[in-house]
Amino acid sequence: MRHDFYLAWRYLRHHRTRTLILILCLSLIASLPLCLHRVLDAGEYWMTKRAEATPLLIGARGSAVDLTLGALYFAEGEVPAISMREADRVAATGWADPLPVYARFRVRGLPLVGVTLDYFDFRKLNPAQGELPALLGDCVLGADAAERLSLGPGDTLASASGNAFDLAGTYPLKLHVTGVLAKSHAPDDQAVFVDLQTAWVIDGLGHGHAEAQAAASAPDAPFGPATVRRADAGLLTYTEITPENLSSFHFHGDPATYPISAIIALPHDVRSATLLRGRYLDDSAGTAIVRPLEVTRGLLQNIFRVGALFDGILVLVGGAALVLFSLVFALSLRLRQREIETIYLLGCARLTVARLLLAEILLIVLLSGAVCAAVLYASRPFASELARFFILS
């Protein structure tokens, strides 16, 4: 038996081009569906885990899928904003704790997410380096975001301008990186987090005033009238919030009207969750409540349907490839007729010839299997990334 494999191996080595093509074809046919399933499994795990951890989500009435993808996975694509009043309403019911999320902006291709500090407690996100944001203008990076941006505590990062051609629009804000979060294997790893109020400054709802101008306009200080000082103070579109100008930053208007993308509602118990959902039954209201797990499951079912279609196609392609493989082998047998005759004339039994051929097939299958396993192993770290890319992009 050992000699059979030796002779088969020598034969395959001699015809290495043909052998390589066969191995590549077989391994490709086998690894494609397996890789696809790995990506789907990673996507299912990744999405379900996140959705399971998020009991209820409140946002603008419309696409529940867009709302869920935007608030939970920070997917690109603008979700209509709701007002902060909605979060106050949820808190006032006493049935749930609201966690507002404002995920409108992106910074160097990464989601810039405005949250309150409670979000970090809820998602169990702790800084691996540095601290969580403390002051206006601070940000904390997800583990992958820090790696991608090559930034750490003490570095700065400029937010993207709302509109480069809008002279009256918002200016980029220089964010101070205070920390890097420990890896959580969730979309939080790819995000840049700021406090909700910093997100509103980026949105142009808060600004600072030039202190030097203000002081000059108060000649009778310390008893100058406040109204004069305020009227003369020049509006400065700060691009950086520093300890010196921090106190001059303020917001105009009612904070209850400020925008947020969604609210993660954490009900205190099942009864509270039911009561809260009952508040959003009115179809004419501007806001809606969704259960992310239901939305995600619906989305995954669609994805799995596409996956099943791919499986069907791959079975057909695989079948065709096997037929071709058999044909190639049959043709090669015909070409090797004289060689087989010689082996027979040398005194070998017909069975020996069959064993030699079987050893060749077995070796090709084994090598293809090894290549397939290597491809699967190599693709493992990218499965989540690919799932995120194909499902969310």
Partner 1 sequence: MQKLRILFYVYTLLVSLVAASSAWGASAIGEQKLKIVASNYPLAYFAERLAGPRATVTLPAPASVDPAYWQPDAKAVGAMQKADLILLNGADYEKWLAHVALPRLKLIDTSATFRDRYIRIENAVVHSHGPAGQHSHEGIAFTTWIDFDQAAQQAAAVANALIAKRPELKALTLDALQMLQQDLAELDEEIRRITAAKPSLPLMASHPVYQYLARRYSLNLKSVHWEPGEMPPAQEWAELDKTLAGHPAKVMLWESEPDTQVVEKLKAKGIASKVFDPCANRPDTGDFLTVMQQNIKNLKLVFHP
Instruction: Give residues in contact with partner 1 (CB under 8 A).
Output: 97, 116-118, 121, 131-136, 138, 178, 195, 197-198, 206, 218, 220-227, 229, 243, 246-247, 249-251
Residue holding tokens 């397939």?
A: 372
Largest CA distance in the chain: 120
- Quick one: tokens of 365? 């299958």
Q: Are 187 and 50 in contact (CB under 8 A)?
A: yes
Q: Can you tell me whether residue 245 is helix, strand or coil?
A: coil
Identity of the residue, 131 or 385, whose beta carbon is nearer to partner 1 in the bound complex? 131
* Closest separation in Å from C-beta 368 to partner 1: 56
Identity of the residue, 47 or 132, whose beta carbon is nearer to partner 1 in the bound complex? 132
* Closest separation in Å from C-beta 215 to partner 1: 8
* Closest separation in Å from C-beta 75 to partner 1: 25
Identity of the residue, 220 or 283, whose beta carbon is nearer to partner 1 in the bound complex? 220
Identity of the residue, 85 or 148, whose beta carbon is nearer to partner 1 in the bound complex? 85
In angstroms, the Cα distances linking 44 to 64, 106, 130, 227, 385 are 18, 25, 33, 59, 13
Which H, E and C letters describe 140-209, residue by residue? EECHHHHHHHCCCCCCEEECCCCCCCCCCCCCCCEEEEEEEECCCCCHHHHCEEEEHHHHHHHCCCEEEE
Identity of the residue, 62 or 224, whose beta carbon is nearer to partner 1 in the bound complex? 224
Identity of the residue, 30 or 266, whose beta carbon is nearer to partner 1 in the bound complex? 266
Give pairs for 149-152: CB < 8 Å, separation 24+.
149/108, 149/110, 151/177, 152/177, 152/180
* Closest separation in Å from C-beta 57 to partner 1: 17
Q: Can you tell me whether residue 237 is helix, strand or coil?
A: coil
* Closest separation in Å from C-beta 229 to partner 1: 6
* Closest separation in Å from C-beta 195 to partner 1: 4
